[in-house]
Amino acid sequence: MPIRTVYKAQIDHMQILDEDGKLDEKLAKNTLTDEQVVHLYEQMTICRTLDEVAFKLQRSGRMGTYPQNKGQEANAVGAAIALEKGTDWLVPCYRENAALFMHGLPMHYILLHWMGDERGNQIPDGLKITPLSIPIGTHMLHAVGIAWAMKLRKERGVACTFFGDGATSEGDFHGAMNFAGTQQVPCIFYCQNNQWAISVPREIQTAGETIAQKALGYGMPTMQVDGNDIFAVYKATKDAADRARAGGGPSFIEAITYRLGDHTTADDAKRYRSAEEVDSWKLKDPLIRTRKYLERKDQWSDKKQSELDERAKKITAEVVKTAEGIEKPHTDDMFNHLFSEIPAELRRQRDTLRTHSLGQEPGQVGLRAPGQAEHV
């Protein structure tokens, strides 16, 4: 019998706004208005300013390890504006700060998280956002579960989960992708391919020519986009969300981007990245190209930039003041927020800060046998 081809595929790459701020008008049709671009540029700038302040907080011992979002902001804002606030779920990793802020998360929550204050993970009621996920890839399973629940309830929401290229080498990624594909859940897998899985380059940590092609094995639509292009990010995310709402199941987006800073403040990227590589990516900075576009459209000026920079500094100063000025947590909190109704045993532990009976009921001390030592 002759050999026959049973499967063919191609991966498309989309760029709408190039590094010089030039727009492909045809592809950009029905995407972002100039007013929206101004708004997204402002959000990226504020996020970048917070990054710089957070870095200084860590270096001065006022905060723990922090992962900068610097260089990847277009992914967050482009996806955030394409998704419906209050309807769709954001299931983030830890470089999507701007998206979380745009969907309602108070900015100081991010600082609280990295200060080690669990209240930074206590998402306010009404927000469809999950806490930051530090373990690599585990949160994708949560996103699929949320999407499955929305499908069973016949809700129109979509779950969008963000992760890096290194996460696609984790087993949880494949479990999540397989379940999403077989159950056709309304989930968007958004991979920020920033070229490095901490210190491991993309070409070493995965053998595929693209990350996007991994989705083909799970039967879902997939695309590669310029992740520093807010127009391409918006269009790809919006198309995926529309497809999911129409019952088309999950989608995969590989966004080509770059982290301009270290992996975290505990990392020194100079040990494994060349200065030439970093400099080449600085030319593709999403803030620079977006400003160039706005200037071409006479929507931006040096005066507006100065005003925005000043406003961003005031906002971040207030955020830091709020985070550092919050009332210190009480030991009761570890009990009060564990259950909606605290069991009697845990209530006794909370009130006495003891787990053994003598500690909880000191009156029993008189019942000890003669010579028996007291253990408190």
Same domain, 112 and 180: yes
Spatial contact of 190 and 140, defined as CB atoms under 8 Å apart: no
Banded model confidence at residue 248, pLDDT cuts 50, 70, 90:
very high
Mean pLDDT of 153-182: 98
Banded model confidence at residue 74, pLDDT cuts 50, 70, 90:
very high
Spatial contact of 105 and 145, defined as CB atoms under 8 Å apart: no
pLDDT at 69 over 90: yes
Query: Residue 172: what pLDDT?
Result: 98
Query: Residue 216: what pLDDT?
Result: 97
Mean pLDDT of 238-253: 98
Q: Of residues 13, 272, 296, 368, which has the active-site annotation?
A: 272
Query: Residue 369: what pLDDT?
Result: 53
Q: Of residues 103, 108, 139, 259, which has the active-site annotation?
A: 259
pLDDT at 367 over 80: no
Same domain, 48 and 149: yes
Same domain, 190 and 338: no
What is the extent of the structural domain holding 353?
Answer: 333-365
* Residue-wise pLDDT tens digits, 312-342: 999 999 999 999 999 998 889 888 888 889 9
Q: Is residue 8 part of a domain?
A: no
**Which stretch of DSSP H or E encloses residue 13?**
strand 13-14
Q: Is residue 160 part of a domain?
A: yes
Same domain, 346 and 311: no
Whether 234 is a known active-site residue: answer no
pLDDT at 152 over 80: yes
Q: Is residue 206 part of a domain?
A: yes
Same domain, 338 and 287: no
Q: What is the SS3 assignment for 57?
A: helix
* Residue-wise pLDDT tens digits, 190-212: 999 999 999 999 999 999 999 99
Mean pLDDT of the chain: 94
Q: What is the CATH number of the domain that holds 52?
A: 3.40.50.970
Return the percentage of the chain with pLDDT > 90, whole number: 88
pLDDT at 287 over 70: yes
Kindly state the tokens that stand for 124. Answer: 């306010």
Mean pLDDT of 243-260: 98
Q: pTM of the prediction?
A: 0.91
Range in 149-153, 248-252, 335-339, 361-365 with the lowest mean pLDDT:
361-365
Kindly state the tokens that stand for 39. Answer: 């708004």
126 phi/psi in degrees, rounded to 5: 95, -15
Kindly state the tokens that stand for 283. Answer: 């030319």
Q: Is residue 1 part of a domain?
A: no
Whether 190 is a known active-site residue: answer no
Mean pLDDT of 176-180: 98
Query: Residue 372: what pLDDT?
Result: 55
Half-sphere exposure of 277 (CA within 13 A, CB side): 15
Q: Which amino acid is at 335?
A: F
Q: Is residue 179 part of a domain?
A: yes
Spatial contact of 192 and 72, defined as CB atoms under 8 Å apart: yes
Same domain, 352 and 218: no
Same domain, 61 and 144: yes
Q: What is the dihedral of CA 136, 138, 140, 142, to 10 degrees?
A: -150
Question: Is 11 exposed, middle or buried, given 0-12, 13-18 or 19+ CB atoms closer than 10 A?
Answer: middle
Q: Is residue 374 part of a domain?
A: no
Banded model confidence at residue 366, pLDDT cuts 50, 70, 90:
low
Kindly state the tokens that stand for 207. Answer: 């053998």
Helix, strand, coil shares, percent, the chain, to 5:
50, 10, 40
Q: How many domains does the chain have?
A: 2
* Residue-wise pLDDT tens digits, 93-131: 999 999 999 999 999 999 999 999 999 999 999 999 999
Same domain, 312 and 352: no
Q: Is residue 308 part of a domain?
A: yes
Same domain, 234 and 342: no
Q: Of residues 103, 108, 139, 263, which has the active-site annotation?
A: 263
Alpha helices (H) in 132-283, listed in sequence order: 139-152, 171-183, 202-205, 230-245, 275-282
8-state DSSP, 224: E
Same domain, 142 and 243: yes
Q: How many residues does the chain have?
A: 376
Pairing relationship of beta strands 222-226 and 251-256 according to DSSP bridges: parallel
What is the C-alpha separation between 189 and 130, in angstroms, rounded?
15
Q: Is residue 371 part of a domain?
A: no
Same domain, 106 and 151: yes
Banded model confidence at residue 376, pLDDT cuts 50, 70, 90:
very low
Whether 272 is a known active-site residue: answer yes
Same domain, 140 and 207: yes
